[in-house]
Amino acid sequence: MFGYVTIDASSLSEESRKRYEAYYCGLCRELKNRYGAQGQLTLSYDMTFLLILLSSLYEPEEKSETRSCVVHPIKKRQMLTSDISAYCADMNIALAYYKCLDNWKDDKSLAGLSQAKLLKKAYGRVEESWPEKCAAIKTALDAIDSAEKSGEKSVDALANQTAAMLGEIYAYKQDIWQDALRCVGGAVGRFIYLMDAYEDLPADKRLGRFNPLREMSESADYETLLKDALSLLIAEGTEAFETLPCIQDVDILRNILYSGVWARYAAITARREKKRKLKAAKQPEADGSLPRKEKGK
C-alpha cells in the first residue's frame, strides 16, 4: 500500500527537490527519535506527501538541521521537522503495523509477523495518542479483509474503505479544512487501493489469491478502463486540493498529484510491455517458422 504518492523528480526544480528531500529526511529523523531504528524502516513517500500538504496548509514553525545519518554517513542532509512531523510519524507507524499484520494474514509472511511484533509497542503508543485515527484504520482494514474473504466483487466498495481510512488520517484537525482534506485523502486512498491491486494482479492470479480486478482484467479494454478509473480518482483529489489555501511548497504538491503519482504506473506498464515483447520474440510464428526481427533491429 506504500510508495505510490511520490515526486516526479524529472520535472521538479533543484531547489524544490532538495526541499522535498529535507521533509523526507526530517520524517525519517522523527521516526528514529520517537521509535528507534525499527521506526525508521517504516518510512514512506505517502506520509511524506501528507507532511508537506499539512505543513503547507497550517504553516507550523519549522526546525531545520543539517546532519549525517546511517544512510548518508558522509554527506550531511538537511532535515525539516515540526509538530506535524510527529503526527505523520505516528500515522506512518500505525499504517506500517497494520500492513505487516495484513501481510501475515494474506501470505502467512513470517517477516510480516516478525515486524508487526517489533512494531507492537510503538503502535501502542500511537494508539494512546490517536485512538480515533487508529480505530478508523482498524475498522477499514477489518472491513476490507472481511469483504475480500467473502469474495466481494465491487472494486468501489473495497476502495471506499481505504478512502475512509486515509480521509480520517488526512483530517489532521477538526476545523474548516477537514472536509477538503478528507476529500483529498479519500481520493488518494482509492487511487492507492486500485494501483496496489493493479500491480499485484499477475502474482495474485498465479498464486490463486483474491484480487478485485480479476474479472475486469478479462475485458479486452481492461487497460483503458483501469487508466480511466485511476485518472478520475486522482482528478477528484486534485480538485479538492485546489480548494485549499496552500502557497508554501505548492509546486511540490502539484508535482506529486499531477505527475508523481503516475511514476509507479508508468514503471509497471513499461515492465509488462517489455516482458510481453520478450515473450513474443521467443514464440514461433503460426506457420512454425522462427519469429521475424522487427525492422531496424
Question: Domain for residue 156, yes or no?
Answer: yes
- Whether residue 240 is contained in a domain is answered as yes
Cell of 271: 515492465
Residue 283 lies in a domain: no
Q: Is residue 210 part of a domain?
A: yes
Domain-embedded: residue 140: yes
For 256, the grid coordinates are 506529486
Q: Which residue has the cell 473495497?
A: 158
Handedness of CA 280, 286, 291, 294 (dihedral sign): negative
Q: What is the pTM of this model?
A: 0.90
Nearest Cα to Cα of residue 258 among 238, 240, 241, 243? 238
Residues of the chain where predicted confidence (pLDDT) is lower than 70:
1-2, 104, 106-108, 112, 284-297
The answer to whether 172 and 58 have CB atoms below 8 angstroms apart is: yes
Residue 296 lies in a domain: no
Question: pLDDT tens digit string along 248-291?
Answer: 999 999 999 999 999 999 999 999 888 888 888 877 655 555 55
Domain membership of residue 275 (yes or no) is no
Whether 284 maps to a domain, the answer reads: no
pLDDT value at residue 1: 56
Q: Residue 286's pLDDT is what?
A: 52
Interatomic CA distance for residues 246 and 54, integer angstroms: 9
Q: What is the pLDDT of residue 151?
A: 82
Q: Tell the burial category of 6 from Cβ atoms under 10 Å away from its Cβ (0-12, 13-18, 19+).
A: buried
Distance of CA 50 to the CA centre of its chain: 11
Which domain CATH number covers 135?
A: 1.10.600.10
Q: How many domains does the chain have?
A: 1
Domain carrying residue 71 = 9-265
* pLDDT at res. 11: 93
Task: Say what the pLDDT of residue 35 is.
Answer: 94
Q: Measure the CA dihedral 199/200/205/206, to 10°.
A: 110
Nearest to 54 by CA among 103, 79, 88, 31: 88
